[in-house]
Structure 1
Amino acid sequence: MIDFWLAAGLLLLVALSFLLIPVLRSRRAQLEEDRTALNVALYQERVAELQVQQQEGVLDAAQMDAGRAEAARELLADTEGVAAPRVTRLGKAAPLLAAILVPVLGLGLYLHFGASDKVELTREFAQAPQSMEEMTRRLERAVAAQPDSAEALYFLGRTYMTQDRPADAAKIFERTVNLAGRQPELLGQWAQAQYFADGKKWSDKVQALTDEALKADPKEVTSLGLLGIAAFEGQRYQEAIDYWNRLLEQLPPDDQSRIALQGGITRASEKLVASGGKVAQAPAAKPAALLKVRVDLAADLKPKVQPGDSVFIFARATSGPPAPLAAKRLTVADLPATVELGDGDAMMPQLKLSNFPEVQLVARISRAGKPTAGEWIGRSQPLASSTTAPQQLTIDSPDK
């Protein structure tokens, strides 16, 4: 912060100079005015001496006129170049008072409306924290400086959870939800913190939070994991296995938590069998969808397009959200081309080809590079997302 205050001090000195320079100039003008008055007094004294000498008969009229003229020339030489005195209504008191009030008012206004704490936080976050405690203090200061920042609150809540402070985390996640809205991920984090804050006791509040989260997103991972834990603690082992299997489907193959999750499923299965139950077989997972499509350009359109024009190839649900389920981008120079659209090309995890029974293939040429609007387009007939036969798609119509 030292460099900040040095810069502010320099700017303050520049501002004060505009107030004090007129005062200094007025002092200089006063000195020049006093010197002029002295010269005039000397001139008058010289003329009086000449008049006395004339009366005593020492000087005649011609000598008197010559002496008077000489004194006038000397007066003119002494006062030449002296500017006329400036007339001001402010006087000296007003600029000096302003010079005192400007820094005092400026400092007061900055301390009230300024953001020195945010400047200091920015400088701190530019350096890596040395410990988790230091990171927590930084996040707490960030929340205090920006109480309306949902992002800062979210990270603080996660940090509290890693430090085994679930009660504090639950309060922070509640504030986050109130700011950012009832998003499934935030509801899941809030429910998890509340569950551990209550000593791992399931409550109506936690149940309501997880129900709301899974209703908005059936694949919300925190809620699935939490429901599995609660079911395991309540000796509802089959429910725990089901929840954890659903969670396992959402995790990437290389996710390290898959090992622990699989271990939990194994323990739940062993306890279920030991209690005389039987593990229900999980339903077979849907095979991943993969559509192969060859895209070409109608012959009569080839003179009307340019090699660098973008070509967007995507599949969208015939009954469902308008957003593409899978997409690829080429250029006109790449055509004809064969591409594959599958679950791995999903724009969002919950919008996969295999989640929708029927889709339509679309190819669009856009000179501006916009996937939502272009000049030419080709569409297929609706087809099953499980289709394995290669498809042919020709761009042959104006995009309306």
Structure 2
Amino acid sequence: MIEFWLAAGLLLLVALSFLLIPVLRGRRAQQEEDRTALNVALYQERVAELQAEQDEGVLSSAQMDSGRAEAARELLADTEGAEPLRVSRLGKPLPIFAAVLVPVLGLGLYLHFGASDKVELTREFSRAPTSMEDMTQRLERAVAAQPDSPEGLYFLGRTYMTQDRPADAAKMFERTLALAGRQPELLGQLAQARYFASGKQWSPELQALTDEALKADPKEVTSLGLLGIAAFEGERYQQAIDYWQRLLELLPADDASRSALEGGIKRASEKLLASGGKVETAPAVADKGEVRLKVRVELGAELKARVKPDDSVFIFARASSGPPMPLAAKRLTVADLPVEVELSDADAMMPQLKLSNFPEVQLVARISRAGQPTKGEWVGRSKPLANTTKAQQQLTIDSPEQ
């Protein structure tokens, strides 16, 4: 920001010079005019003296003409080199008033319409965060600067959950729902945040949220996990096993949360058997197989002169009807374009958000000079397509980011 204010100050000085220099020049011209007027008055006074002497008979006509010519030569010598008289000039108060008004008005307009907070935020995001607290503060400032960004709100809510701040997370998810609609993933996240914020007290409201989420997407992982926890806490162990078993079948073999989930199923089974019950095996969910989308990304011809080789390029897929955040993403630079990439479940941003869980997706390629995946300068988008699409898709980055 220091560089910005220095540049703004320099431009302001240039602008003021156009107003103040004429005033200073006007003062010098006024002095020249005053001196010229004095010389003319002296000339007229000398001519009057010569005329009086001629009338008294002291000077002859020849002497009168000689004296008048001498006085004229002296007047010409005194006024030679002076600037010509101006017919009119701008008054002094107006340019001085304008010189004061320009910086005040410019500063006021910038503070009202400008985006100094976003400029500073962009500079911050170009540097790697030093800690989780630093990342949280950046996300909070990003949400304050862009309150209508569902992606920023969602990621801030997820960050609050990792910091054991479920009440704050619930507020973020509520705002995300209001902007992005009642997507299954968002309903599950909101239900989970409210559940932990209420001290793990299950309620009809939470049941309604999870029911709505699973009705729209039977494989919504957050709702499945949450219902399993609520069932276990309510000693409904068979229901907990069923929910967790369904969730386990959705996770990849190398997912880090599988061990904890298997441990929960084991504890629920033990408690069910200890209470005299019998563990029933839930029907398996059919495996749809891993999704792989191929896409070629190139830069529009009109943008080649407007971008830099090190500008970030984010290529990602997101659900056409689902959470606004990317399901799978890759980060490159403009220098890598054109490029062919493949997006799959292995590129998932979050374990519970995978391409295979959403039947229809949209491919997006975005250029961001600040390195922000959620906001950039230019973008290219595909039409909605099935996640089972095998043909390579073509994306051209040629539209300004709205």
After TM superposition, the score normalised by the length of structure 1 is: 0.67
Report the equivalent of 1:349. 357
Larger Rg: 1
- Aligned-partner Cα distance in 2 for 1:276–1:365: 56
Kept in 1, the 8 Å contact 2:345–2:356? The answer is no
- How far residue 226 of structure 1 moved from its aligned partner, in angstroms, is 0.7
In the alignment, structure 1 residue 144 sits paired with structure 2 residue 144: yes
- How far residue 171 of structure 1 moved from its aligned partner, in angstroms, is 1.8
CA deviations 1:87-141 (Å, max 9, x no partner) are: 14x5211222222233233333433443333333333333333333333333333
Report the equivalent of 2:34. 34
Report the equivalent of 2:99. 99
- The change in CA–CA distance for 1:348 and 1:34 in structure 2 (over 3 A counts) is farther
- The change in CA–CA distance for 1:86 and 1:253 in structure 2 (over 3 A counts) is farther
- How far residue 52 of structure 1 moved from its aligned partner, in angstroms, is 5.3
The unaligned stretches of length 5 or more in structure 1 are 291-341, 353-358, 371-400
Helix, strand or coil at the partner of 2:144? helix
- Aligned-partner Cα distance in 1 for 2:136–2:345: 39
- Aligned-partner Cα distance in 1 for 2:137–2:44: 81
- How far residue 20 of structure 1 moved from its aligned partner, in angstroms, is 1.7
Report the equivalent of 2:267. 267
- The change in CA–CA distance for 1:152 and 1:343 in structure 2 (over 3 A counts) is closer
CA deviations 1:153-202 (Å, max 9, x no partner) are: 22221122111111121122112211221111111110000010111111
| 2:209 counterpart letter in structure 1 | L
Report the equivalent of 1:162. 162
In the alignment, structure 1 residue 220 sits paired with structure 2 residue 228: no
Report the equivalent of 1:293. none
Kept in 2, the 8 Å contact 1:39–1:78? The answer is yes
Report the equivalent of 2:251. 251
Report the equivalent of 1:87. 88
Q: How does 1:1-400 map to 2 (within 5 A)?
A: 1-51=1-51, 54=54, 59-80=59-80, 82-88=83-89, 91-286=91-286, 349-351=357-359
Helix, strand or coil at the partner of 2:36? helix
- How far residue 225 of structure 1 moved from its aligned partner, in angstroms, is 0.9
Number of matched pairs: 310
**Structure 1 residue runs of 4 or more that deviate by more than 6 Å after TM superposition:** 361-366
Kept in 1, the 8 Å contact 2:289–2:356? The answer is no
Kept in 2, the 8 Å contact 1:224–1:247? The answer is yes
- Aligned-partner Cα distance in 2 for 1:350–1:173: 20
Report the equivalent of 1:321. none
- Aligned-partner Cα distance in 2 for 1:283–1:16: 79
- Aligned-partner Cα distance in 2 for 1:365–1:204: 46
- Aligned-partner Cα distance in 1 for 2:171–2:270: 37
- How far residue 362 of structure 1 moved from its aligned partner, in angstroms, is 10
Kept in 1, the 8 Å contact 2:246–2:284? The answer is no
